[in-house]
């Protein structure tokens, strides 16, 4: 299995868990991002994810390297789905195994936060009353220039 | 030749996902001007990150013949 | 599916994930505790878990209630296996879904910490060179009397 | 009748998992003394929690006829 993949296929949580499982692991943490129906009062019909695939896979791998440097002894896999997703579909799965439990939570949390910072994937909400590219019209968020840290 | 990739809303604004230009040693600023004047891309361009050959770069980089330049709106994966 | 169960059967991670999945959820965090081969220099051959089953199931349910009070809108399921477990076998699975990701990590972490405090389950290590009931010979840990908080 | 349940190492020390005594209104302290003198349970008992009818109780509770009292060594699940 490619541990860092962007795919149009449904994600297989068990496959990622198996991949990170090892005799050295005492803890596996998985984060699964799913399509939520309501955001505030907006009702989602479906979502569409788009990615710059080769770069996104490189960035996922970079996150894996960062995690293994910060939490030695970690095994990690990340898959992100793109294309059209319905309510409750899985958009992202992160699986992290570590010898002890605290690191599994910390490393998995770190990975999802980094995905939201540096991986070129975009979500387009298809609401009852229109569409919206998430992340580019929220003028309350200021984006500093240059490479994302 | 330099390939310019556009994603998400940028792609919708330009009406295409890839633009090719015959050039060498072009600044990111020059490419932005081209995208704004010729392809009608708006202010979103100012909040985009730029990647050259699949690596994030600073806006000050100079792009050479054979490079692929991607304009990346603020990401929203996860 | 009983969301709070003690069982001698292998645990099914997917079943717990399905149970907590919902249109209101945007995030699912799962914690999987597995049997680790090495603890310090001690090599585990297998483990045996024993429980006061009816009380342990009640305590798991109590943890579920605590989680739902602390993080409203959460769905949670916890299964713990007992009996003999080999290296890499899954001893415990916690699945938590929440509308937003931060709460899923916090609630799941809370649940595993509470399991280690208040659920009457005991682990017996079977090492290469002997056996050891974990938690009752570690004189560095002082156990306050009365009900565990 | 009061049922007394022993778990994990306590069970191994006593050589049995359940003890029944004919009694009413007995203190936890009295039951502990019984377990130590008649069943040879050692100092581990001092670090155990006590549950009556599957609920944790303080050591000061009085146990009645029909109750189930469990002595629980420090737990190690998860």
pLDDT for C142: 38
> What number is the ipTM of this complex?
0.93
Are A126 and A84 in contact by the 8 Å Cβ rule? The answer is no
Q: For residue B44, which residues of chain A lie inside 8 Å, CB to CB? A: 136
Q: Using 50, 70 and 90 to split pLDDT, how confident is the model at A146?
A: low
How far is residue A5's CA from residue A18's CA, in Å, rounded to a whole number? 16
Percent of chain C residues topping a pLDDT of 90: 83
pLDDT for A147: 62
Q: For residue A146, which residues of chain B lie inside 8 Å, CB to CB? A: 49, 58-59
pLDDT for C143: 40
pLDDT for C129: 86
Chain D: give the shortest CA distance to residue C128, in Å: 19
pLDDT for C147: 62
A39 contact B CB<8A:
no
Q: Which of C80, C120, C149 to mutate against chain D (most D CBs within 10 Å)? A: C120
What are B46's two structure tokens?
């100012």
Q: Does domain B2-72 have CATH number 3.90.870.30?
A: no
- CA-based nearest residue to C33, from A77, A109, A97: A97
Among C52, C119, C134, select the one facing D70 at the smallest CB separation.
C52
A1 or A143, which is more confident: A1
Q: For residue A120, which residues of chain B lie inside 8 Å, CB to CB? A: 7, 51, 70, 72, 75, 77
Point out the residues of chain C with pLDDT beneath 50. Answer: 136-145
Among C50, C91, C145, select the one facing D7 at the smallest CB separation.
C50
Q: Which of A5, A50, A55, A82 to mutate against chain B (most B CBs within 10 Å)? A: A55
Chain A: give the shortest CA distance to residue C121, in Å: 17
A127 contact B CB<8A:
no
A33 contact B CB<8A:
yes
For C76, which DSSP code? E
- Give tens-digit pLDDT for A72-108: 999 999 999 999 999 999 999 999 999 999 999 999 9
How far is residue D62's CA from residue D2's CA, in Å, rounded to a whole number? 12
Are B51 and B57 in contact by the 8 Å Cβ rule? The answer is yes
Q: Using 50, 70 and 90 to split pLDDT, how confident is the model at A142?
A: very low
How far is residue A90's CA from residue A71's CA, in Å, rounded to a whole number? 26
What sign for the dihedral angle of Cα B30, B33, B37, B41? positive
- Nearest-Å Rg of the Cα atoms of chain A is 16
Chain B: give the shortest CA distance to residue A81, in Å: 9
Domains in chain A, CATH or no CATH each: 4-41+51-121 (3.90.1170.40)
Decide if C23 and A97 are in contact by the 8 Å CB cutoff: no
The set of chains that have 3 or more CB pairs under 8 A with D is C
C92 contact D CB<8A:
yes
Q: From the CB coordinates, do chains B and D have 3 or more pairs under 8 Å?
A: no
Among C54, C123, C146, select the one facing D77 at the smallest CB separation.
C123
pLDDT for A144: 42
- Give tens-digit pLDDT for A18-49: 999 999 999 999 999 999 998 888 899 999 99
How far is residue A7's CA from residue A12's CA, in Å, rounded to a whole number? 11
Interface A-B: count of C-beta contacts within 8 A: 88
Is A138's pLDDT higher than 90?
no
Decide if A28 and C34 are in contact by the 8 Å CB cutoff: yes
pLDDT for C146: 53
What does the angle CA A114 – CA A120 – CA A123 come to, to the nearest 5 degrees? 95
- Give tens-digit pLDDT for B24-78: 999 999 999 999 999 999 999 999 999 999 999 998 999 999 999 999 999 999 9
Is A145's pLDDT higher than 50?
no
Chain centroid offset of residue A148 CA: 17
Q: Which of A7, A52, A140 to mutate against chain B (most B CBs within 10 Å)? A: A52
Give, in order, the Cα–Cα distances in Å from A116 to each of B6, C27, C92. Answer: 19, 14, 29
Is B15's pLDDT higher than 80?
yes
Decide if D78 and C54 are in contact by the 8 Å CB cutoff: no
What are B43's two structure tokens?
């202010």
How far is residue A116's CA from residue D73's CA, in Å, rounded to a whole number? 45
Point out the residues of chain D with pLDDT beneath 70. Answer: none
User: What's the pTM value of the predicted model, to 2 decimals?
Assistant: 0.93
């Amino acid at each position: 299995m490619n541990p860092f993949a962007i795919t149009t296929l449904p994600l297989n949580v068990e496959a990622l868990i198996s991949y990170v499982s090892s005799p050295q692991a005492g803890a596996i943490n998985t984060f699964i991002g799913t399509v939520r129906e309501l955001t505030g009062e907006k009702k989602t019909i479906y979502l569409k994810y788009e990615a710059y695939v080769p770069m996104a896979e490189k960035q996922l791998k970079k996150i894996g390297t960062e995690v293994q440097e910060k939490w030695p002894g970690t095994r990690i896999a990340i898959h992100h789905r793109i294309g059209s997703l319905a309510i409750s579909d899985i958009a992202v799965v992160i699986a992290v195994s570590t010898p002890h439990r605290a690191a599994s939570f910390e490393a998995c949390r770190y990975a999802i936060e980094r995905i939201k910072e540096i991986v070129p994937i975009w979500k387009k909400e298809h609401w009852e009353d229109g569409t919206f590219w998430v992340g580019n019209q929220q003028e309350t968020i200021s984006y500093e220039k240059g490479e994302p840290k | 030749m330099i390939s310019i990739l556009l994603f998400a809303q940028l792609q919708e604004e330009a009406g295409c996902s890839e633009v090719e230009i015959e050039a060498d040693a072009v600044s990111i600023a020059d490419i932005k001007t081209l995208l704004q004047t010729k392809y009608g891309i708006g202010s979103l361009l100012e909040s985009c990150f730029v990647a050259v050959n699949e690596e994030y770069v600073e806006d000050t980089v100079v792009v050479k013949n054979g490079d692929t330049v991607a304009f990346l709106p603020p990401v929203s994966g996860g």
